[in-house]
Chain A
Amino acid sequence: MSRITELQKNLFGGTTSNARQFGMISTLVAIVLLFQIWTGGLTLTSGNLIAVVSQYSYILILAIGMLMVIVAGHIDLSVGSVAAFTGIVVAKAMQEYSLPWPVGILLGLAVGAAIGAWQGFWVAYVGVPAFIVTLAGMLLFRGGNQYIGNADTVPVPTGFRDIGAGFLPEVGPDTGYNNLTLLLGLAACLGVVWREWTARQTRRDMNADATPLWVSGIRLAVMLGVIVFATLRFAGGRIGTSLPISGIILIVLVLAYSYYTRNTIGGRHIYAVGGNARAAELSGVKLRQVNFLVMMNMSVLAALAGMIFVARSSASGPQDGLSWELDAIAAVFIGGAAVSGGLGTISGSIVGGLVMALLNNGLQLEGVGSDMVQIIKGLVLLLAVAFDVYSKKQGRFSIIGTLMRPFHRNETATPVGPPNPASDPDKAQVAS
């Protein structure tokens, strides 16, 4: 194996389908570079990065939940309306009953959980397709928002605004940077080093070929470089700004949910249900419970996203959350999730969301109108998924292709290589 391919394999971790991931990340880098040059260096300024994070964190939070919904083989169209509904309920509660804002946040999460339980019930226990349940939810909760808010805008108190518009405080000596952000960056660096170390450790325990040390070194250097760069950028903004609180919430959620989906039984079950629901059921997975929790979780995250948006806008209004579902769904699919479920990653969806966010931001910095921005985003979504479909057609591993192929009865005994295109010579009948 040449060093180049070894490097590529190890950097992108890939066994299957790393072409897609490599493609997505290259796209992201290309977009950043393109706009960095085009806008004369505005894209990567502290101010802009901070603005991008606080503007899109709520969409990315939705993308986390949406990824899990889509992996489980469903869809949620109601997230925007759920977000708007929660926003108005929380805003009203704080305004009329002068609820303290921390209680307001808890209330919002509870509202999200209740809505999620409602939708999860219909999807998991009654068996109404999620598309229908959440289409109904979209209308239901949009109407609920207008009913409760009288289609009016309701302001929220200052303390509450911090979750959407707040920054880390300035503490400690004057270093020329926001000290807390620096500390976070340091923690991230340590975390990355620790992870690389334990990963090597794990591979050794598995008796797998250890990654060559120089590859680990490069990987580590790259990641630390990015973290240091990002830390300095976020810490070096105007006094009073830092990594936004909403960004911190996002990072915590991304880490937590990535861990959950990758490393826990619950996470495995989501992929199992989406990959083949019947097979999962016959393996003892509680299908209904998984579907219920996935739908419920989505609504809780939608509620959180809604509150962050309201906090950032300092008021809850009737237009909150309009077409958020589309942004979140687009992020998930650009990030490589399969329409039929069972495939996709949180980190992929975040990359997908960032592609959309930076595209949006870059075009706005260039003064491109929102009409053109929408056209361009639409094309990007289409091309990203078309690229995926195309590369699968070119003989690479393809899920859809595999599923569409009739069951083959006899294969050659070669263990590796694409499944051969035999069709069934006799019926392979499923008992029914």
Chain B
Amino acid sequence: MRTSITRGIAAAGAVVLLTLGTACSNEREGSTGTDGGDAKGFAKDSLVGVALPAKTSENWVLAGDLFTNGLKEAGFKADVQYAGASTTVADQQAQISSMVTKGAKVIVIGATDASQLSTQVAQAKQAGATVIAYDRLITNTPDVDYYIAFDNFKVGQLQGQALLDGMKAKKAKGPWTIELFSGSPDDNNSKVFFDGAMDVLKPLIDKGDIVVGSGQKNIKQTAIQGWKAENAQQRMDSLLTSTYSKKKLDGVLSPNDTLARAIITSVKGAGKPVPVVTGQDSEVESVKSIMAGEQYSTINKDTRKLVAETVNMVKSLQKGDKPEINDTKSYDNGVKVVPAYLLPPVIVTKETAAEAYANDPKLAPLTK
């Protein structure tokens, strides 16, 4: 009885075989595309695949909708996929393979884990597709063609500068006491933000104008696993207990809005005055917080612009043109330097909010 399934499989296969006939066309062909398939262009109604992480943040959902519409308007067939919430990496791998099977000419990837996609990217490349890393750089592979993102180093620099400006506004002369927070260690961008910020802050720390109260200056010490608010709040709680029972805290470098709000919650919970806290992403709650004078700054990275630029890139590839690139040396993924198109981020504080969000239907009313 235990052997019968094997036989059953055989029977099943036979049905398949008979149904399909032996129309067994050989797909054997040399690998194409490596010799710059993008230079030749492709049909205007070709399939463009977009593989995004799980629908865990508003931003990705918005990006997905924008891609679907933008690509359709440009005349492409769009296949936009999100990874499943619990099986992210494996799902995304399978989705990219499927896009390759379906013959996508360009595959835009917002990676769930930037270094676990090299097999799929290679597969895409061999099938002649162009791979664009969207927002997160895919590492450990020679097969990424382009990278498009906001200039995250610049984001970091702006955050560092904003922190400094905010503290100066409150207390003209140093030394200022600050704490550093950085993003999730499995996100490639976390380090870039942090490095950008340190690019501004490091000289002042070395001079002694800025003091990191807890002494935790290493990215490993400051990282917040999974970009999770509760983790940030926990770390801030313990910092307040360990270091700031007497000392005054002037500022906190926070890499994004979610963490910034968690930090502020923690400080308020401890009954301390709210320090200067930076942020990023222009989340609704944070914009409200900025307008209320609690969070100091955020960064406006307009998803609309980023998607629009990506679609533009696809369009140029379709025509066979070289897409526009503005950075050819900063983004080394471990195997090669990936040509990148970087959009400039914009810093937003209470003063500049009205102007920055003037065109945003959701945020503009908050700034009035």
Contact surface of A with B, Cβ cutoff 8 Å: 11-18, 21-22, 24-26, 28-29, 32-33, 36, 39, 42, 44-48, 51, 54-55, 146, 150-153, 155, 161, 164-165, 176-177, 219, 221-223, 225-226, 229-230, 232-233, 236-240, 258, 261-262, 309, 312-315, 317-320, 322-323, 335, 345, 347-348, 351, 360-361, 364-365, 367, 369-371, 373-374
Question: B15, B79, B122, B139: which contacts A367 (Cβ < 8 A)?
Answer: B79
How would residues 72 to 96 of chain B score, 1 for a CB under 8 Å from any chain A CB and 0 otherwise? 0000000101111011111101110
Question: Complex formed: what's the CA distance from A5 to B119 in Å?
Answer: 48
| Contact of A12 with B8 at beta-carbon distance under 8 Å, contacts A176-B28, A236-B24 already known | yes
In the complex, what residues of A have CB within 8 A of residue B46's CB? none
In the complex, what residues of B have CB within 8 A of residue A370's CB? 54, 81-84, 87, 91, 95
B31 near A360 (CB under 8 angstroms)? no
The smallest beta-carbon distance between A8 and chain B, in angstroms, is 9
In the complex, what residues of A have CB within 8 A of residue B30's CB? 238-239
A225 near B114 (CB under 8 angstroms)? no
List, sorted by A's number, 22 A–B pairs whose CB atoms are closer than 8 Å: A18-B1, A21-B8, A25-B12, A45-B27, A47-B127, A48-B101, A51-B98, A151-B225, A153-B116, A176-B26, A226-B9, A226-B10, A226-B16, A232-B24, A239-B28, A314-B115, A318-B113, A320-B116, A351-B5, A369-B81, A370-B84, A371-B82
How would residues 163 to 197 of chain B score, 1 for a CB under 8 Å from any chain A CB and 0 otherwise? 00000000000000000000011100000000000
In the complex, what residues of B have CB within 8 A of residue A229's CB? 13, 16-17, 22, 24
B101 near A319 (CB under 8 angstroms)? no
In the complex, what residues of A have CB within 8 A of residue B79's CB? 367
The smallest beta-carbon distance between B247 and chain A, in angstroms, is 29
Question: Complex formed: what's the CA distance from A165 to B83 in Å?
Answer: 21
Judged by DSSP, the binding face of A is helix
Task: Give the interface size class of chain B.
Answer: 35 or more
Chain B residue nearest to A23 in the complex (CB): B8
Contact surface of B with A, Cβ cutoff 8 Å: 1-17, 19-20, 22, 24, 26-31, 54-55, 79, 81-84, 86-91, 93-95, 97-98, 100-102, 112-119, 122-123, 126-127, 139-141, 184-186, 220, 225-226, 334
B93 near A312 (CB under 8 angstroms)? yes
Question: B10, B82, B117, B185: which contacts A313 (Cβ < 8 A)?
Answer: B117
- Report, nearest first, the 3 A-B pairs whose CB atoms are least far apart: A226-B13, A13-B4, A222-B14
Question: A39, A44, A238, A314: which contacts B119 (Cβ < 8 A)?
Answer: A314
Chain B residue nearest to A55 in the complex (CB): B94
The smallest beta-carbon distance between B181 and chain A, in angstroms, is 16
12 new A-B contacts at CB < 8 Å, known A14-B1, A29-B16, A238-B30: A29-B15, A51-B98, A51-B100, A153-B113, A153-B115, A155-B334, A165-B119, A176-B26, A219-B11, A222-B10, A319-B88, A370-B91
